[in-house]
Structure 1
Amino acid sequence: MKLLRNILFTSTLLMSAFAAGTAANADPGRFMDMKKSVKAPIGHKQFCQDNGWACPRESYDPVVVQLNEELWQQLIAVNAEVNRRVKPMTDNDLFGKEEHWSYPVNGYGDCEEYVLEKQRVLMEAGWPKSALLITVAKDVQNSGHAVLTVRTDHGDMILDNQIEAVLPWYSTPYRYIKRQSASSPVAWTGIADTRVTTVSSVSR
């Protein structure tokens, strides 16, 4: 119960901080509302072409992680460690192009590099890949952003390079668009996020 109280306390603080700029439903639910299949982001397709071993064309039964104190602390630690270790740099500066997904290069990257690295580290620590899902959103500037969604019995938790805390999805200031399917690393699913109504869909 201490774990759940800590999560709810952090969530309440962040919800209060973002309430002024967010149009929220009364009860968004602990889990994102997943809809029909959608196209994968162009950047993820390119990443899979470059790293075929990371994108096997396989299907598996989705797993929801039973979150205990040890696993919760591990999520917090991995999020913080990768955020400290990877230094921000745009794709233009790092790769000479507008959009390119990769693992961090020489310790640098943008939001996708942070997400891919956190996913990789957690998988190596034994977390199931079906619970670690790359997720595309719009941030408060209406720009494309990527975070890692971790599916747990306490709800969908977000690991982010812009916010240090690990938060329930509904406590973040983003409009969620699509994420990897929990059944396949190469399939993507649309998200029905009605909490924010003023941002447009991701075009890339």
Structure 2
Amino acid sequence: MIMRTAVKAPVGYVQFCRDNSWACPKESYEPVVVRLDEARWNELIAINKEVNRRIRPMTDADLFGTEEHWTYPVNGYGDCEEYVLEKQRVLTEAGWPKSALLITVAKDIQNAGHAVLTVRTDHGDMILDNQIEAVLPWYSTPYRYIKRQSANSPVKWTGISDTRVTTVSSVSN
């Protein structure tokens, strides 16, 4: 992903940090790119699958009565942000470096806001998602990427220059 200028954090992330200050330390660190050997790759796939199976989808409107609320899963339910936050937490607890686990905001195929977890590796940026089971390189997903956490600090965000050309077509009879 090509990163551009500093941008504001999503409103939901700001609210999450207000509610969970311990999860949003105002620290800076050297960015790390994870060496993706077979064991790390298998661990990434297993954690993505386990979290996707453990959380059942439910919108923030149904769960919290508001359109946007970021938190960890509540009673096993959540939307894309809950999946992302839980994957980030589980991977961090498994020893993955924080600077390689970046919350990322995109537009999905319905042009709706969507959050995924970007994992920075020596094989490129990999995407952990709750809508697509496979762990894929960012450029192999159908999303248009907007911004993500900075690799230097979890409370800073960077705009993404996603200039990939996509083709939309239709066929009629």
Instruction: Report the TM-score, using the length of structure 2 for normalisation.
Output: 0.95
Q: For residue 171 of structure 2, what is the aligned residue in structure 1?
A: none
What whole-Å deviation, never above 9, does each CA across 1:62-87 have from its counterpart, x for those lacking one? 00001100000000000000000000
Q: For residue 80 of structure 1, what is the aligned residue in structure 2?
A: 49
2:160 is the alignment partner of 1:191: yes
Q: For residue 17 of structure 2, what is the aligned residue in structure 1?
A: 48
User: Following TM superposition, by how much is the alpha carbon of 1:196 offset from its aligned partner in structure 2, in angstroms?
Assistant: 4.5
Q: Which runs of 5 or more residues in structure 1 are unaligned?
A: 1-31, 199-204
Q: What is the rounded CA distance, in whole Å, between the counterparts of 1:129 and 1:53 in structure 2?
A: 14
Please say if residues 86 and 109 of structure 1, whose CA atoms lie closer than 8 Å, have aligned partners that are also in contact: yes
What whole-Å deviation, never above 9, does each CA across 1:134-166 have from its counterpart, x for those lacking one? 000000000000000000000000000000000
Identify which of 92, 99, 106 aligns with 1:137: 106
Q: What is the rounded CA distance, in whole Å, between the counterparts of 1:59 and 1:81 in structure 2?
A: 30
Q: Which runs of 5 or more residues in structure 2 are unaligned?
A: 168-173
What whole-Å deviation, never above 9, does each CA across 1:17-61 have from its counterpart, x for those lacking one? xxxxxxxxxxxxxxx000000000000000000000000011000
Structure in which a larger fraction of residues adopt helix = 1
Please say if residues 133 and 148 of structure 1, whose CA atoms lie closer than 8 Å, have aligned partners that are also in contact: yes
Aligned partner letter, 1:41: P
User: Following TM superposition, by how much is the alpha carbon of 1:195 offset from its aligned partner in structure 2, in angstroms?
Assistant: 1.1
Give the 5 Å matches for 1:52-131.
Answer: 52-131=21-100
What whole-Å deviation, never above 9, does each CA across 1:113-149 have from its counterpart, x for those lacking one? 0000000000000000000000000000000000000
Q: Runs in 1 of length 4+ with deviation above 6 angstroms?
A: none
3-state SS of paired residue (2:27)? coil
Please say if residues 88 and 109 of structure 1, whose CA atoms lie closer than 8 Å, have aligned partners that are also in contact: yes
Aligned residues: 167
Identify which of 125, 138, 142 aligns with 1:173: 142
- Across the aligned residues of Structure 1 and Structure 2, the Cα RMSD in angstroms comes to 1.0
3-state SS of paired residue (2:102)? strand
Identity %: 82
Structure in which a larger fraction of residues adopt strand = 2
Please say if residues 149 and 156 of structure 1, whose CA atoms lie closer than 8 Å, have aligned partners that are also in contact: yes
3-state SS of paired residue (2:86)? helix
Q: What is the rounded CA distance, in whole Å, between the counterparts of 2:165 and 2:81 in structure 1?
A: 23
3-state SS of paired residue (2:22)? helix
